[in-house]
Structure 1
Amino acid sequence: MIWLDKKDIWFPDPEYAPADFPLAFGGDLSPERLLFAYSLGIFPWSSEGEPIMWWSPDPRMVLFPDRLKVSRSLKKVIKNRGFTVRFDTDFETVMRMCASVKRKGQSGTWITPEMIEAYTKLHKLGYAHSVEVYLENRLVGGLYGVSLGGVFFGESMFHIVSDASKVAFVKLVERLKEWNFDMIDCQQSTPHMARFGAVDIPRKEFLKILRNSLKKLTIKGRWK
């Protein structure tokens, strides 16, 4: 196992990382380290009380924006349900809701107070973004992630009203498609994301797309 200290910011080459095991442990969640990690296709994921674990799984689930699939029923929800969608209006609350809202078959959360503090800093620096869904002025769903170049790295989503997180995701992808983003990183393979058109690709292909996408200008600051 490779342990990182808090002084030097570096990671092992993700090309040779384990497929389903952390490539490194430790380090910190400073903005500099987080941004460097994402630029290499690496992300942190661990539970409270555990050391920071850094991952670069193989395969990697991604969604290419122009391949988004929206069911007929969801289109009706978006049109008729009365949701209002906003970007970057309440980032920290979205993170806290992602951490606290219960998910079927899951207990606990990997979104620790340290993670919330770290990603809120990234948000203030213009790299982390949220999508909020409101119903009658009440926050009922949303998601957040990190944006670098032409890639959006999805982190987590929540809903307390049926379909609210799905609406947030569709509106995000539509916006990213307008901005000519190359892909949305979904990290782990799930049937939920597959229904939107996400696919598993080899890590090697993911890293190649990422390197090319990082040549694009990062859209920093508040997304309106």
Structure 2
Amino acid sequence: MYIHTLARTGGSWESLDVLGAPADGPVAFGGDLGPQSLLAAYRRGLYPFPAATEEQRIVNELLHEADVAAGAVKVLPGREEPFSIAWCSPDPRPVIPVREARLQRSLRRQLRRTPEWTTTADMCFERVVRQCRTGRSEQWLTDDLLRGLCVLHELGHAHSVEVWEGDELVGGTFGVRVGAVFSADSQFTVRSGAGKTAVADLTRRFAAAGGLAVDVQRDGDHVRLLGARPVPRARYLALLTGRRATRPLPTERLPARRLAG
């Protein structure tokens, strides 16, 4: 079945019909988590969701084996166990237009009361990614994915934002930049509000770099409070291939309270 499906995909990212894929669930399985594959996937509007355990891989297979057999979900080359990596592209996609980003009133008040908080970008990328998987029940940030993301960071495609309380890292977020879109993968919070502060700071820095939108991948009340709104997949894919943000992401240390306006 897998060999037959692979023959239909042509073995390339370009062969995936992301626009016509199901709105919910994976677009594809398989492939690998090397930097070239990751960048190709993000450029196609996909992000990875690896299975960290054999049990999770089996669940993927049970849930989606029929879709794969029918050709609705493709299988990419690269792994003996293709169901160990899912590639997702939700429709609609929650996106924060950088000029419309906002903070809820309680967080603005908190930032005004915590003048010691500062933010930076790209100061400790790997540390932020590792913090984002600490204590999570779903360990989709596997070692393979972490290694691939760190190489993307070294190549200038992946970035992190850090929130500091003095010398202590209390929050952060990271993701991959594609043209005028920043796809934010995850965030972490040690102090209440620090993760949301990191995302808000990312939108401000990305706007300064000429970016248009921050994709937060998964919808929810917490991202709606930051200004996220659902964008149809076709429009999201057009954003990826439209105007590019050519200026570098500002990395200097800045006071977090500036975000309160």
Fold equivalence (TM over 0.5): yes
Structure-2 residue corresponding to 1:207: 237
Secondary structure of 1:19 counterpart: coil
Larger Rg, first or second structure (1 or 2): 2
By how many angstroms is 1:3 displaced?
A: 5.2
Measured against aligned partners, the alpha-carbon deviations of 1:32-86 in whole angstroms (never above 9, x if no partner) come to 1111111111111132033111111111110101111212322232233121211
**Structure 2 residue 209 is matched with structure 1 residue 179:** yes
- What's 1:124 paired with? 154
Q: Which residue of 2 aligns with 1:86?
A: 120
* Distance in 2 separating the partners of 1:155 and 1:181: 17
* Partner Cα distance (1:217, 1:118) in 2: 23
2:72 aligns with: none
User: 2:144 matched to 1:114?
Assistant: yes
The residue number in structure 1 matching 2:173 is 143
Query: How far does residue 8 in structure 1 lie from its aligned partner after superposition?
Result: 5.0
Gaps of 5+ in 1: none
- Which sections of structure 2, spanning at least 5 residues, go unmatched? 58-83, 253-261
SS in 1 for 2:238: helix
| TM-score with structure 1 setting the length | 0.89
The residue type paired with residue 47 of structure 2 is: F
Q: Which has the higher helix share?
A: 2
1:187 aligned counterpart, secondary structure:
coil
Quickly say closer, same or farther: Cα 1:203–1:218, change in 2 above 3 A.
farther
**In structure 2, what residue type is equivalent to 1:178?**
A
SS in 2 for 1:54: strand
SS at match of 1:123: helix
CA contact (8 A) 1:98 1:157 kept: yes
CA distance in 2, matches of 1:157, 1:72: 20
Equivalent residue for 2:246? 217
The offset of 1:210, in angstroms, is 1.8
- The aligned residue for residue 56 of structure 1 is 89
How far the C-alpha of 1:216 sits from its partner, in A, is: 4.3
Contact 2:209 2:248 in 1 (8 A): no
String of CA shifts for 1:106-156, please: whole Å, max 9, x gaps: x23211111111101111111111111111211111010011211100000
Which residue type is aligned with residue 71 of structure 1? Q
Q: Secondary structure at the match of 1:15?
A: coil
Runs of 4+ aligned residues of structure 1 deviating over 6 Å after TM superposition are none
Within the candidate set 71, 85, 94, 2:104 is matched to: 71
Structure 1 residue 10 displacement after superposition: 2.0
Take 1:218 and 1:147, find their aligned partners in 2: how far apart are those partners? 12
Equivalenced residues, count: 216
Query: How far apart are residue 91 of structure 1 and its match?
Result: 0.7
